[in-house]
């Protein structure tokens, strides 16, 4: 269905909270979890993915938590989605490339070129949205937390 998994959706909600919290003290997983009804242990995994890709920083111990590692206008939804869900590739054939960055023969199919072009368009679309815009989108606070 070309949909995001919960991993992706949860991660984006977490980034939304961190964007609104940017410049302040770290935000704890428990607090982020509470605001959107997301399970804490799963959110730990999700934030770990974002940390591995350098989108967020963490501070351990008392008063610890997570912060964005860059300002919200410098982080795109594209980076977030790729960190959470892996590379955008409609078909695996796009990922299997030889050292010259050409598709390996065994991994080409009738639509490889088209999948590649479409994937690039999708990635561009996601990269055109920053966390700042995501945060501003909801400045009226009318959102409901329970949507998955």
Partner DNA sequence: ACTAATCCTGATAAAATTAGTCAAGTATAA
Partner DNA sequence: TTATACTTGACTAATTTTATCAGGATTAGT
User: Is residue 28 within the footprint of a second copy (CB under 8 A)?
Assistant: no
In the complex, the smallest distance separating the C-beta of residue 11 from a second copy, rounded to whole angstroms, is 11
For tokens 């054939």, what's the residue?
Answer: 93
Q: Sign of dihedral through CA atoms 85, 90, 96, 97? A: negative
Contact region with DNA (CB under 7 A), list: 63-71, 100-108, 110-118, 128-136: 63-71
> Least distance in Å: CB of 126 to a second copy?
7
**Backbone torsions φ then ψ of 110, nearest 5 degrees:** -60, -20
Could you tell which of DNA, a second copy, none binds residue 91, using a CB distance below 5 to 8 A set by kind?
a second copy
Q: Which of 24, 60, 105, 141 binds DNA (CB under 7 A)?
A: 60
Distance (Å, rounded) from C-alpha 27 to C-alpha 130?
20
What 3-state DSSP class applies to 122? helix
């Amino acid at each position: 269905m070309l949909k995001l998994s919960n991993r992706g959706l949860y991660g984006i909600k977490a980034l939304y909270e961190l964007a609104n919290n940017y410049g302040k003290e770290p935000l704890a997983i428990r607090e982020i979890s509470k605001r959107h009804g997301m399970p804490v242990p799963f959110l730990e995994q999700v934030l770990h993915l974002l940390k591995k890709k350098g989108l967020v920083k963490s501070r351990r111990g008392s008063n610890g938590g997570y912060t964005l590692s860059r300002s919200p206008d410098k982080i795109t939804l594209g980076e977030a989605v790729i960190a959470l869900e892996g590379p955008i590739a409609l078909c695996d054939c796009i990922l299997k490339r030889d050292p010259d960055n050409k598709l390996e023969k065994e991994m080409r199919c009738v639509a490889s070129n088209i999948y590649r072009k479409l994937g690039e368009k999708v990635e561009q679309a996601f990269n055109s949205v920053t966390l700042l815009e995501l945060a501003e989108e909801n400045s009226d606070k009318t959102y409901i937390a329970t949507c998955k």
